[in-house]
Chain A
Amino acid sequence: MAITVLKRIIKTGFLNFKRGGLVSWAAVMVVTITLSVITAIILLQAVLHFSLAQIENKVDVTIYFTVDAPEDKILLLKSSLEKLPEVAQVSYTSANEALALFRERHQNDYPTIQALDEIDDNPLGAYLNVKAKEVSQYESIANFMKSDNTLVLGSASIIDKVNYHQNKLVIDRLNTIISGAQQLGFLITLLLVIISIIVTFNTIRLTIFISKEEIGVMRLVGASKMHVRGPFMVEGVIYGVIATAVTMLLFWPATVWLGRNMTNFLGINMYSYYLSSFFQISAILLLSGIILGIISSFLAVRKYLNK
C-alpha cells in the first residue's frame, strides 16, 4: 500500500509539473539562479584559496649561520626543526653553495666580484630556509630559534641572524589580509546564499499559492496531508534536478572561456578546475537544489494545509 501511495505521489508530481507549464519553468529558472550563485561562489573560493596559497608560499624565514659554524651542528638543527609540527619544509644551503649563488646573482656586477676575489676566504655563511605550514606559525618558529633550547645545545651561538624580524611586519600584515579575505569571503557567501534561498522560497510559495484553493478542496475530499503535500514536494525535487543540470550546462562554456582567456589573470585554469571537481560540484548543487525544493514546498503547503 505504501508503495502504491508513493508511486501515485511521484506520478502526480510529474504530471503537475508538466501541466504547470510556464509556472513550473519559472520556478526552475529561479532555482537555477540560486544554484548558479552557489557555483560562482565555489569557483571564486577556488581562485581565492589558490591565490592565498601562492602568496603564503612566498613567505619564508631564513636562518643565517656564522661563517665558522660547523656543518654537523647546522644539520642537527635542521633535523630538529623538521620535527616541529608547524614546519612544512627546511632546505639547507651550504657556505659554498651560498657563494656560488652570490656570484651568479652578481655576475654582471664587476666591482663586487672583484672584491670577492680579493678575499681568499668565503665571507658567506651557510643558511637554512624554513617554510611553515601556515603564515601565522612563523612567530613560534622564530621563537624556537631564539631560545637556546636543550634540543640543540649551543645552537644560538652559531646563528648569525634570523630574518624573521625584518619580515615580521610584512608577514603580520599578510596574515591579517589572508584571514580578512577569508572572513569576508565567508560573509559574502553566506549573504548571497541566504538571499537566493529567500527568493527561491518565495517563488515556490507563489507557485503553490496558485493551488491554494485546490489544497482546500483536496482536504475536503478527504485526502491526507501527505497525499496533498507529496506531489508538491516531488515537484520541488524536479525543480532541483532540472536546475542542477541547467546550471552545470551553463557553467561549461563559461569555464571554457575563463580557462582560455583568464588563466593568467586568475592564476588558475577554471576549466580544468571545473572538470576535476565536476562531480563534487554537481553533488553539492543537486543536494542544495533538492533540499531547497523540498523544504520550500513543504513549508509553503503547510500554510494552506491546516484544516
Chain B
Amino acid sequence: MIYFNNVSKIYKDATALEDVTFTVETGEFVSVVGHSGAGKTTLVKMILADENPTGGTVFFESIDVHKLKNHDLTKLRRRIGVVFQDYKLLSNKTAYENIAFAMEAVGKTDEEIKNDVPHVLELVDLSHRVSHFPNQMSGGEQQRLAIARAIINQPELIIADEPTGNLDPVNTHEVVQIFKKINDLGTTVILTTHNRGVIESVGKRIITMENGKIIRDTKHNK
C-alpha cells in the first residue's frame, strides 16, 4: 500500500531521513520506534506530502504523492486519517463539530453527519462530551476525539504520530486498544512512538529508526 523508495530529507544543516526504503501492506499494523529526532515525524509527513523529500519517492498505492496537484492532494488526504501527539483539534469547534467538519470536508450529507457523529463518539467513549470544546476536555479525551475524527470517514490508512506522547499510562492503554480495534476491522495503521510499553502492548511489526535511518525491521528479521 505504501512504498518508500530511497527517501531522504535534509533540512538546512540536519539530515532527518537518509535512504529510507520500506513497504507497508494493506491491513498491516506498523509501529515506528525511535528517540526524539530519529526522523519518525518526518517519515509520517512524507506520506501526507506535508513535506517534500530531498531525494527518493513515496508511493501511496500507485500514486507518487509528491507529484500531486493541490486538488488531488486534498483527495488523497481524505483517504488517510491522521492523529497527532498534540491532537490538532479545531479549538473553536465543539467535539461534535470537529467530527462533523471532517465529514463535511468529504461532502457527506447533513443526514449522514447526524447519524454517524454520535455513533463514533460512543465508540471512543465521548458521548457525554458532545458539545464540549477541546479546552474543556482532558488530554485523553482530546486524543480520543482526534481518533474519532480520523476514523469517521473510514479511511484506508490511519497515521498516528506519537498519539500517546502526552498521555498517562491508563489513557495510553485505552488509545492503543482503540487502534488495535481499528486495525482488526481491516484499516492499515502506522503508529510512531518512543514508548516501549506501547510497542509491547501492540505486539506487531516494529520499524526502529535512528538518526534518520531504519536500523531494524522485525518483518525482515523474523
Contact = CB atoms under 8 A, between A and B. Distances in A.
Given A1-B107, A218-B101, A218-B105, A225 B88 contact: no
Interface string B18-49: 00000000000000000000000000000011
Interface in B142-178: 149, 153
Interface string B72-86: 011101100010000
Interface string A209-228: 00101100111111111010
B115 interface: no
A224 B92 CA distance: 19
Contacts of A214: 90-92
Nearest to B78: A222
Contacts of A8: 104
Interface in B60-111: 70-71, 73-75, 77-78, 82, 88-92, 101-102, 104-107, 109-110
Contact of A225 (B70, B77, B104): B70
Interface string A183-225: 0000000000000000000000000000101100111111111
Contact of B48 (A4, A217, A220): A220
Contacts of B82: 220-221
Nearest to A215: B90
A307 B65 CA distance: 13
A221 B101 contact: yes
A307 B50 contact: yes
A46 B101 CA distance: 50
Interface residues of B, number: 26
Given A8-B104, A214-B90, A307-B70, A221 B149 contact: yes
Contact of A222 (B77, B88, B109, B110): B77
A213 B101 CA distance: 15
A306 B149 CA distance: 23
A269 interface: no
A19 interface: yes
Q: Looking at chain A's contact residues, is the secondary structure mostly helix, strand, loop, or mixed?
A: helix
A282 interface: no
A136 interface: no
A16 interface: yes
Contacts of B73: 307
Interface in A1-56: 1, 4-5, 8, 16, 19-20
B47 to A, nearest CB: 12
A64 B139 CA distance: 97
Contacts of A218: 90, 101, 105
A219 B89 CA distance: 12
Contacts of A5: 107
Contacts of B101: 218, 221, 223
Interface string A86-119: 0000000000000000000000000000000000
A214 B70 CA distance: 18
A240 B82 CA distance: 37
Contacts of A20: 92
Contacts of B110: 4
Nearest to B105: A223
Contacts of B78: 222
Contact of A220 (B75, B88, B109): B88
Nearest to B90: A214
A124 B153 CA distance: 100
Given A217-B88, A307-B73, A222 B50 contact: no
A221 to B, nearest CB: 5
B181 to A, nearest CB: 21
A218 B89 CA distance: 9
A222 B70 contact: no
Most buried by B among A211, A221, A223: A221
A1 B108 CA distance: 9
Contacts of B50: 220, 307
A39 to B, nearest CB: 33
B147 to A, nearest CB: 13
B92 A222 contact: no
Contact of A221 (B70, B77, B92): B77
Interface string B101-134: 1101111011000000000000000000000000
Interface of B: 48-50, 70-71, 73-75, 77-78, 82, 88-92, 101-102, 104-107, 109-110, 149, 153
CB-CB nearest 6 A-B residue pairs = A222-B78, A223-B105, A222-B77, A217-B88, A222-B105, A221-B102
11 contacts: A19-B92, A220-B48, A220-B77, A221-B82, A221-B101, A221-B105, A221-B149, A222-B75, A225-B70, A227-B105, A307-B49
Given A213-B88, A221-B101, A307-B49, 14 more contacts: A211-B92, A214-B92, A217-B88, A218-B90, A218-B105, A219-B77, A220-B48, A220-B77, A221-B77, A221-B105, A222-B105, A222-B153, A223-B105, A306-B70
